[in-house]
Structure 1
C-alpha cells in the first residue's frame, strides 16, 4: 500500500499533548518546615522532683511509725507533786479524812458509811509516823499515763526519820523514791488529783 496510512473512521486519531502542562501548585514550592526538637529536660526534672518528694513523705511516715503516737499528758508534774505532797502530809499529821479521800480514789463523796475507811486511814497514818517525822517531795522522776484520767508516777522525796524508829540513825534529809497511782477528776474547770495508792520502794505500802 502506497501513500499515507488512513485510519478507519471508527478509530480516533492520536491526541496531541501541549508542550507545557500547568502545575497544580502555582509558583515555586515553599521551603520545608523544620520540626521542633523535643526538649526532655523539663520531664526529667519533674520526675526527679517527684521522686524527692515521695522520699520525703516516706521518711516522715517511717519516723512517725518508729516513734509511735504521742502519749497524752494526763497530769502535769507540778500537779502530781502537789497531790503527793498533800497525801504524805496527811499521813504525817494524822489527817484521816484527807488520807481516806485520796485512797478511795474518787468514791469518797459517794460512800455513805466511812467509819471503816477512816479506820484504815488511821492505821496507815500511824504506821507512816512510826517511820518518818517529815517528808518533802522534791521532784517527779517519771510520769507514765495509763488512760485519759489515770497515771503512775515515780517520785523522789527527802525524809526525816521518826525519833526512836529503826531509821533514827540515818541522815535527816535522806532521799528515797516512791510510786503513786494518780486519778484526775475533772468537774468543769475544776480539777482534783487523787493519790489512789502509794508504795515506798525501799519499804512497805501505805
Structure 2
C-alpha cells in the first residue's frame, strides 16, 4: 500500500486533472439535464395523453448501451466532451422525468382542488403546492441521475471526452496497477460522496415536506 501512496503523491496531477475534467462533465450534464427534464415534465403534465409514449421512449433510450449511443452520435457530433454530454443528458431524462411526473401525479387531488378553490392559478399550484410535495421523489431521481452520470462519464474517455476514465483506460493499456487502482478509487469515492451528500439532502427535504 505504501508504494501506491508514494506513486499517487508523486504523480498527483495525473489524477487531479482528470478528476477536474470529470466534475466538469458531470456538472454541465446535470445542469442541462435538470433544465430539460423540467420542461419535458411540465409539457407532459399539460398533455397527459403523451405521458405513456414519451416515458416509454425515454426508457428505451436509457436501455441502449452507452458505447452504442456514443457510436451513433460520433458521425454527427464528433469525438469529445460535447458528444459525452449529449449521451449523458439523454440517459438522465428517463430518471428525472419519470420521478418528476410520478411525484407530481402522486400529490393528493384534494390538496390541488383546495389550492384551486383559494384562487391559485395552475402555474402557482404547480410551483407552490405540487412541486414542494413531490420533492422527495424528485430528489430521489436526481440522486440516481448523479450516480449514473458519474459512472457513465467514465466510459466517455473512450471518445476522448477526458475524465477519470482516461486514468483507468491508460492503466489498462499499459498494465499500470497504480493508475488502475487510483482511477477506480477516485471514481468510487466520488460516487460514494455524491450519494451520501444527496441522501442527506433528500432526507432533509423529506422531513421538511412531512412537517
Tell whether the structures are fold-level matches, with TM greater than 0.5: no
Report which of the two has the higher share of strand: 1
- RCO higher in structure (CA 8 A, sep ≥6): 2
Structure whose CA Rg is larger? 1
Q: TM-score range by the shorter chain?
A: under 0.3
